Structure 1
Amino acid sequence: MKRVKRVSWIAFGLLQVVLLTLLAAILLEQRSLSYLKTAEHPAWQQRDYLIKNVQIVPMTSDAVVTDQRVLVREGQIAAIAPDLEAPGIPVIDGEQGYLMPGMTDMHVHVWDAQELGLYLANGITSVRNLWGQPMHLRLKESIRQGELLAPDFYTSGPKLTGPDYAGDDNLQLVSVAQAREKVASYKARGYDFIKTYNGLTPELFEAILEECRMQELDIAAHPSAALPYAAHLRDEIVSVEHTEDIVQQALNYQLDTAGLDRVVADYASFPSAAHCPTLVVYYNIYRLLTEARILEAPELNFMNPLIRMVDSEAQYQRWAGAARGDSLLAGKILAQHRFHLLAVRKLQEAGVNLVAGTDAGIGITPAGVSMHQELAFYREAGLSAFEALQTATVNPAKTHDFLANTGTVEVGKKANLVLVEGNPLKDPNTLRKPLGVWVGGRHISREQLEGFTDRARNRKNLLPSVLRYGEYLLRER
């Protein structure tokens, strides 16, 4: 009996140590986020500004409007003119820099608040999270309440898949009734839209679409191989994700230009459809196969530590193993990437609404900086600098209602703005180092943006990240 009691007390003591360690890790992470908390920075309560001496890149046309002033009132653009005055409010001298709308990354995976700072540091003022978890509802509420400085944040619910598509990251639906219930519950809990994923059968897919119509929820669709690719071009679906799935599903892994033309024609015949390419995340497979010591690359220091330890390593091992069985694999991946560029060019030429997304937050694709790589691929595909920049500004505003008040510099639009040194229509690299960012009218200086980047490098929040993912598995699976 004494031995049993001793073992029980030891177990109880160990449990206390574990709980205290977890609590300490959570408290330390919260303390480390003070640099993003508006309560710690009284200046971020200010949402009225006069911005003077700027050249405006409005994104309403391929042009620059010189020598302007912009008045921001309560987080919105109130006036634009060369001679505005607004006594009593702070004045920001743009010093002849270029003022443009903040960018939107339409496909991200957020794992912690530090990533939100990285998006701001790269001129991204709205993000669309494509794998919803309970932590994202809390983040969203903190941002909505003005407690946390971050891009406008919108999130899908958990990924909806079919009964045969396994994986702890997927919610496998087994009945039409369950599909309807999940959609309704995600709306009630505060998720902004639905993400459909691979493995959905026609019956489950139709049930989700019908329930989304009833709940007035948009859908972002990762194509399901159990459906014809063109079946994803529906009124309820505001964007179809991943150019790679045009090859892998619509074209059955063939780099078939005639087949691509048919897919492009399907998109063009459905004007409300948008396509989100996510080229950079696929190209990073090629990097995994060809760059020595890729897991030690400096940009991976900005990945969430749990993702870096688990997903980055798993993807490296997966593709390294595949390459051992196919010495030509790297060349095949590169050839498919180049076909993606052709697809993007053809979609653009056909007038399809292309929206920039990066799939940042998984594999070896870090938050923020990956947007510049994505836009560079669009220019390589043949888009002009203006057309490429449209995919991250005005084009996303055409998809969801919650993005409609962004994407251009116009009176009445939300003051999500980026100030850069050079003309981004001539030198897109100027976007990599904003001089300042406004999100909802709150101004963030270049020095603060650099601090966001520094604080996100090699962050020590592994245990809190594990706990958040564990919560997702317990709550949603």
Structure 2
Amino acid sequence: MSTSTVTAVTTTITGARVFDGERLTEHTAVRVADGRIAAVGDDTLLRPGDEHVDARGATLLPGLIDAHVHLLPGALRQALTFGVTTVLDMFSKPGTVRDALAEAARPDAADVRSSSVGATAPGGHPSMMYAPFPYVTGPRDAERFVADRVAEGAAHLKVLYDDGTGGPMPMPSLDVPTIAALAEAAHRAGLLVVAHVSTARGAVDLLPAGVDVLAHAPFDALAGPQVDAVAAAGVAVVTTLSVADGFPDGAVLPLLTEPDLLTRLGPAWRAVVERQGRRWLPPHLPDFAVAKDNVRLLHEAGVTLLAGTDAPNPGTVHGASLHRELGHLVAAGLSPAAALTAATAGPAEVFGLPDRGRIRPGLRADLVLAAGRPDEDIAQAQRLVAVWKQGVRADLDAYVGSAAEQDGLAALRAQTEKVVAAVRSLLPAVEVRRAEDDELLGHVRRSGPLWEPVTVFHAALAEPAEREEAEDVVRRDGLACLADPWWVEEEPGRWTEARIQEAHPDRVRVRWADPLVAQPAHGQWIDPRAVRLRRHRP
């Protein structure tokens, strides 16, 4: 039978600890019929002919909700294999949304609510990834923009208020009057308004504009009066602390250190995350501890927090990263039970989804069975035993190796290449050549307000400095450094010493220092874009 025509059976789960979305209850059993929760009680709910699930030693949770994603083909199927039964999309193009809404009708895919295209200024965030798409030029565009999004199937409106202050480069941004006009038009259309902000000032700026949800805990410190203002406004905040997972202290991204998630990730996605860990990163990373502290302050002030991942940003994967987000919330000061509420009852309440997010009679039978006590130890939420969407038990192994997985990987690759090309066009590396013969010695590239000296194959030569100083480093060391020992990381955490025989921007010929390693007599060609090379200064 096709997965798209599978029907729910009557299922009774007994012997479970039941967390209803807000607290652990006294119930031990749940009976599911016709895709809904028929009854909640004790083991006497079991009837002859029911499919019986013995859940002793496990905890039954509502299906998880990721309150901030961006769609890829197959993302809904991947999310479901990690217990995420609903995702809230915060910016995707109309064709992607149409495909996702069709996919969400399948029992083997998570449900979805989308903003479709978000409202941003011409050339504003996230143009690098999604352009071309409709822009908003001022308040008079608000009514038409909202109407067009409703026609595309939007369930909420996303607005973007970000001039780049909290990131690496300036960019155009909507102003507050325009966002206020958009919020008014969206509310008339019955849509919730989610505002992308990255700074404390940005968050407070938008409170009078009538937005309902702030997407992202600010990356700079919230002052006490700002925390109080957010709390008094009654807005919810989608935390997205998982963004930090793409900027690790070491080479291995945190998602790869979670064994219970790794087993379901599959080799193709593991390889993607491994490569993301080897990509070029700025020498001075954002201080994500600030965002975590902001989450703590907001929680203590009584602000409603919602768990969201911003997947598929580097280091994040649909479904899997929501478990990382839960861990981040607990590290920020939430109890495990409060973190689970931020991924179940919380987003269901805020986004107007009264049929899910809790375990109560009459609601959708979107359920997750996890071994252990995740309401006491949040890491145990990763230990999935079973997942049901509308009463249909999901095949947790079906996504890995599927055509849906390949489609998602291809789409992510295309998006990544588009963003990399856009960044390079905005922050180009400047060639440094020898005056007498015009030989390329290396480059200097922007690193915030400074310039970083790099080799012809873009490996760092020294710390960022003023441009003139950086160029002097390239002239002095750009070719001379090739005679030094180098370390090559072909696999995360495994560095091998080598000598460079020949260097080009897209290929480097090396000879391994270890004489016992089998290698061609003239060395081995490697792609410097696929590995990390680090100079070993004598």
Q: Tell me the TM-score range normalised by the shorter chain.
A: 0.7 to 0.9
Task: Tell me the SS of whatever aligns to 2:233.
Answer: coil
Matched letter for residue 399 of structure 1:
V
Higher relative contact order (CA 8 A, sep 6+): 1
Match of 1:383 in 2: 334
Kept in 2: contact 1:117–1:150 (CA 8 A): yes
Give the TM-score, by structure 1 length: 0.73
Q: Which structure 2 residues correspond to residues 64-213 of structure 1 after superposition, within 5 A?
A: 64-65=25-26, 68-82=28-42, 83-113=44-74, 115-143=75-103, 146-147=105-106, 149-163=108-122, 165=124, 167-168=127-128, 169=130, 171-197=134-160, 198=162, 199-213=173-187
- Given that 1:157 and 1:186 are in contact with CA atoms closer than 8 Å, whether structure 2 keeps it comes out as yes
Go from structure 1 to structure 2 and tell me whether the alpha carbon gap of 1:414 and 1:236 turns closer, same or farther (over 3 Å shift). Answer: farther
Query: Which sections of structure 1, spanning at least 5 residues, go unmatched?
Result: 1-37, 248-254, 324-328, 471-477
Q: Call closer, same or farther: CA 1:283–1:464 in 2, change over 3 Å.
A: closer
Which residue number corresponds to residue 263 of structure 1?
Answer: 226
Query: Which residue matches 1:275?
Result: 237
1:219 to 193, 202, 218: 193
Deviations 1:381-404 (A, max 9, x none): 121111111111121122111x22
1:162–1:103 Cα change, 3 Å: same
Q: In the superposition, relative to structure 1, how do residues 224 and 460 fare at CA in structure 2: closer, same or farther (>3 Å)?
A: closer
Name the larger-Rg structure: 2
| C-alpha deviation, 1:65, in angstroms | 2.5
User: Who is 1:427 aligned against?
Assistant: 377
Q: Could you list the per-position Cα deviations for residues 157-187 of structure 1 after superposition, in whole angstroms to 9, with x for gaps in the alignment?
A: 2121123526242543224333321210110
Structure 1 residue 230: deviation in Å? 1.8
Question: Structure 1 residue 466: deviation in Å?
Answer: 8.0
- Secondary structure (helix, strand or coil) at the match of 2:15 reads strand
Change (3 A) 1:92 1:236: farther
What is the identity, as a one-letter code, of the residue corresponding to 1:223?
V
- Rate the CA distance shift 1:427–1:161 in 2: closer, same or farther, 3 A: same
Q: 1:58 to 1:370 in 2, by over 3 A?
A: same
Seen in structure 2, the aligned counterparts of structure 1 residues 223 and 201 have a Cα distance that, compared at 3 Å, is same
Matching residue's letter, 2:115: S
1:452 corresponds, among 376, 389, 399, to: 399
Secondary structure (helix, strand or coil) at the match of 1:160 reads coil
* Aligned mates of 1:147, 1:450 — CA distance in 2: 16
| 3-state secondary structure, aligned to 1:459 | helix
SS of 1:131's equivalent? coil
- SS of aligned partner of 1:280: helix
Q: Give the TM-score normalised by structure 2.
A: 0.65
Q: Which residue of 1 aligns with 2:20?
A: 58
Specify whether residues 461 and 337 from structure 1 end up closer, same or farther in structure 2 by C-alpha distance, changes over 3 A only.
closer
Q: Judge conservation of contact 2:94–2:152 (CA < 8 Å) in 1.
A: no
The counterpart of 1:394, out of the listed 327, 342, 345, is 345
AA aligned opposite 1:276: V
Residues 22, 338 of structure 2: 8 Å contact kept:
no
Give the deviation of 1:241 after TM superposition.
0.9
Matching residue of 2:360: 410
Q: Which has the higher helix share?
A: 1
Q: Report the alpha carbon displacement of residue 364 of structure 1 after superposing the two structures with TM.
A: 2.5
Q: Tell me, yes or no, if the aligned pair for 2:245 and 2:254 is still in contact at 8 Å.
A: no
Read off the aligned partner of 1:129 and give its amino acid letter.
Answer: D
Give the residue type in structure 1 aligned to 2:192. Answer: D
Is the alpha carbon distance of 1:458 and 1:414 closer, same or farther for their aligned partners in structure 2, counting shifts above 3 Å? closer
Q: Deviations over 1:402-439 (max 9, x none)?
A: x2222221122221111112111223222213111111
Which whole-Å CA distance do the structure 1 matches of 2:240 and 2:217 have between them? 7
The 1:201/1:164 distance shift into structure 2, 3 A limit, reads farther
Matches within 5 A, 1:247-262: 247=220, 255=221, 259-262=222-225
Q: What amino acid is the match of 1:101?
A: P
Whole-angstrom distance in 1 between the partners of 2:366 and 2:224: 37
**Partner Cα distance (1:429, 1:454) in 2:** 26
Distance 1:224 1:292, change over 3 A: closer
What stretches of structure 2 of length at least 5 have no aligned partner? Answer: 163-172, 257-261, 418-538
Conserved in 2, the CA contact under 8 Å of 1:414 and 1:440? yes
Number of matched pairs: 394
- Provide closer, same or farther for how the CA distance between residues 372 and 412 of structure 1 changes in structure 2, counting only shifts above 3 A: same
Partners of 1:340 and 1:308 lie apart in 2 by 23
Instruction: Determine helix, strand or coil for the equivalent of 1:45.
Output: coil
Matched AA of 1:118: Q
Preserved CA contact (<8 Å) 1:303 1:361: no
Specify the alignment match of 1:243 in structure 2: 217
Q: 1:241 to 1:304 in 2, by over 3 A?
A: farther
Structure 1 equivalent of residue 512 of structure 2: none
Q: Which has the higher strand share?
A: 2
- Describe the shift of the 1:211–1:241 C-alpha distance in structure 2 as closer, same or farther (beyond 3 A): same
Tell me the CA shift for residue 316 of structure 1.
Answer: 3.6
Alpha-carbon shift at residue 371 of structure 1 (Å): 1.4
Q: What's the Cα RMSD here?
A: 3.4
Relative distance call for 1:228 and 1:106 in structure 2 (3 A) is: closer
1:233 aligns with 2:186: no
2:55 partner SS: strand
SS at match of 1:150: coil
CA distance in 2, matches of 1:461, 1:381: 32
Tell me how far 1:347 sits from its aligned partner: 0.9
Which residue number in structure 2 is paired with residue 10 of structure 1? Answer: none
* Cα-to-partner distance string for 1:321-347 (whole Å, 9 max, x where unaligned): x42xxxxx14xx3xx222222211111
Give the Å deviation of 1:457.
10
Corresponding residue number in structure 2 for 1:365: 316
Deviation at 1:48, TM superposition (A): 3.0
